[in-house]
Amino acid sequence: MAGPQIIPEKVTSPFQLMAAWFVMLVLLSSVLLTAASRIEKPDWAAGYLVVFTSILVLLVIGCVTLMLTKFRPHLQDGKEYAQWLKDKGRYSSGIIIKETKPDNKASRFTQKISTRKHQLITNVDISVVNAYDSEEMISALKSNGFNADIYEPEREPYEDHSTQEGIWLGYRVSPEVAARVIHTAVKTWPHLKYVHLSNDGGDPPDYVHDQIFIGGSTSAAIRYGVNEWLPKDFEQLNESMTQKEFHAVVRSKYS
């Protein structure tokens, strides 16, 4: 027997679901009653099917009635059901999370700084005094993009920094590189407190003017007339300075 086809995906409302139940109930009842009218033997079979059909109809009607009374809110459409939840204190208006789009310009600027920071800079020679914790300084410099080596690694390392508190700065080193190296060095070794330019004393070889030496002799710095630097003095050194401005800050600490 052909009948209406119920497609589950099309049932989107509770009332549609109840209508589907009634359709199925009518179809099932029709089948049972038709079978009862055609059964001749045994005699009790026809009566059994009629009674079963009656019970089935009453059961379905009872279930539907129960859901339309006690559980009625659950059978409503979305709007009415939401209102019921709200009245019962089970509804929350929710939190609207506004998507924040990243600033492309700021992102590109940050990426540029990050790339520049991790790009290995090889146009300056950096040497670090051979001390008990020189590897810490080497690691800090390399993490900021600088290649550095320990000076005279074969000799016995210094166990005390008090005699090696200077930074020798080649005057041809760019302010951008010099500022970054000095800030990294002072952060790693807070005891550093003297800075001296290579062309402000003695007659060093030409290659020295392109080098930075970290951990220079304290006595030599004092002999050159370099005054002690405070943390605020190091903060004056800026990567955006011109070479003239940078050297002026360094020389301002000469006596």
Whether 126 and 208 share a structural domain:
yes
Within a domain: 233: yes
Whether 124 and 235 share a structural domain:
yes
Question: Whole-prediction pTM value?
Answer: 0.54
Ordered DSSP codes for 76-136: S-HHHHHHHHHHTT--------------HHHHHHHHHHHHHHHSPEEEEEEEE--BTTHHH
Within a domain: 163: yes
Res 37: pLDDT = 74
pLDDT band at residue 89, thresholds of 50, 70 and 90?
Answer: very low
Per the structure, how many domains does the chain have?
2
Res 14: pLDDT = 58
Structural tokens at position 185: 């060095």
Whether 215 and 178 share a structural domain:
yes
Within a domain: 66: yes
Within a domain: 220: yes
Report the Cα 84 to chain-centroid distance in Å: 40
Where helices occur in the chain by DSSP H, the ranges are 14-38, 43-69, 78-87, 104-118, 134-143, 175-188, 218-223, 231-235, 243-251
Over residues 165-201, the pLDDT tens digits come to 999 999 999 999 999 999 999 999 999 999 999 999 8
Whether 65 and 127 share a structural domain:
no
Whether 79 and 121 share a structural domain:
no
Select from 41, 69, 87 the last residue of a domain. 87
* Contact assessment for residue 31 and residue 47, using Cβ atoms and an 8 Å cutoff: no
Within a domain: 165: yes
Whether 139 and 227 share a structural domain:
yes
Whether 125 and 52 share a structural domain:
no
Whether 120 and 236 share a structural domain:
yes
Within a domain: 96: no
* Contact assessment for residue 243 and residue 175, using Cβ atoms and an 8 Å cutoff: yes
Out of 15-19, 145-149, 165-169, 184-188, least confident range: 15-19
Res 210: pLDDT = 94
Q: What is the mean pLDDT of residues 213-227?
A: 95
Whether 127 and 223 share a structural domain:
yes
Residue 215 has pLDDT above 90, yes or no: yes
Q: What is the mean pLDDT of residues 26-30?
A: 80
Report the Cα 225 to chain-centroid distance in Å: 49
Cα gap 30→48, rounded to integer Å: 15
Within a domain: 184: yes
Whether 192 and 125 share a structural domain:
yes
Whether 64 and 142 share a structural domain:
no
Within a domain: 192: yes
Q: At what angle do helices 175-188 and 243-251 cross, to 10 degrees?
A: 40
Whether 14 and 136 share a structural domain:
no
Out of 61-75, 95-109, 115-129, least confident range: 95-109
Residue 67 has pLDDT above 60, yes or no: yes
Domain that holds residue 12: 8-87
